[in-house]
Amino acid sequence: MIRLRWYIGLTSASGTPVTGEEQAECAQAVEVVYSGCTVYRTLGLWRGHWEDSLVLEVLTKKSAGKPIILAGMLQRLARQSSVLWTRESVEGGFTP
């Protein structure tokens, strides 16, 4: 199983808040590719400054595709200077 995560700051590159609608659009962009995602609201520390953040997570058995392409889309949707993404192999499964 593969876990993918995208980390998105909730303050745009210009300093304005990322709206709830923009956050929903980010989650929907991931959902279109992976048929769903888990959304975490977090507090992040970036370059010495605390900021509200959003983490979108997917657990998938299928090929992970190119998460960097989706990161670029999320960057534009949330008006960010960058979006961090991670990919890792994990063990897991569903109960019978």
Residues 37-52: pLDDT tens digits? 999 999 988 789 899 9
User: For the domain that residue 33 is a member of, what is the CATH number?
Assistant: 3.30.70.120
pTM score: 0.91
| Stronger pLDDT, 33 or 62, i.e. the higher one | 33
| Amino acid in the structure at residue 61 | K
The Cα 71–Cα 49 span in angstroms is 22
Length of the chain equals 96
Range of the domain at 35: 2-87
User: Would the pLDDT of 64 be above 70?
Assistant: no
**Residue 36, domain member (yes or no):** yes
Query: What is the domain count for the chain?
Result: 1
Asked if residue 95 belongs to a domain, the reply is no
Residue 11 belongs to some domain of the structure: yes
Torsion of CA 66, 31, 79, 12, to 10 degrees: -120
